[in-house]
Amino acid sequence: MKKALRSLRRHILTPGVSETKMETRGFHVKSPESRELLETIGGTFLQGYAHVMEARSVTEAEGRLEEIPRRFRGFAYEGAGMGCAVLDGLPFGSGSKVDDLLAGRGRDHVYMVYIGIGWAMARLPRFRWPKSTGLDPLLLWLVHDGFGFHQAYFHTRRYIDEQYQDPGFPWPARDPRSYADRAIDQGIGRAMWFIGGTDADRVASMIDKFPERRNPDLWSGVGLAATYAGGASAEELRRLCDRAGTYRSHLAQGSAFAAEARVRAGLLTPQNEVATQVLCGTTPEHAAWISLDTRPNGTVRGGLPAYEVWRRRLADQFASLGGVTP
Least confident of 7-11, 91-95, 130-134, 185-189: 7-11
pLDDT above 70: residue 10: no
pLDDT above 50: residue 322: no
- 233-283, pLDDT tens digit by residue? 999 999 999 999 999 999 999 999 999 999 999 999 999 999 999 999 999
Q: What's the whole-number average pLDDT of the chain? A: 92
**pLDDT classification of 1: cutoffs 50, 70, 90:** very low
Span 105-121, average pLDDT: 97
CA separation for the pair 288, 159 (Å, rounded): 31
- 196-218, pLDDT tens digit by residue? 999 999 999 999 999 999 999 99
The count of other CB atoms within 10 Å of the CB of residue 4 is 8
Long-range interactions of 87-91: CB distance < 8 A, separation 24+ = 87/52, 87/53, 88/130, 89/120, 89/124, 89/128, 89/129, 89/130, 90/128
Q: What is the per-residue pLDDT for 188?
A: 98
pLDDT above 90: residue 175: no
Write down the pTM of the prediction.
Answer: 0.93
Residue 104 burial (CB < 10 Å; 0-12/13-18/19+)? middle
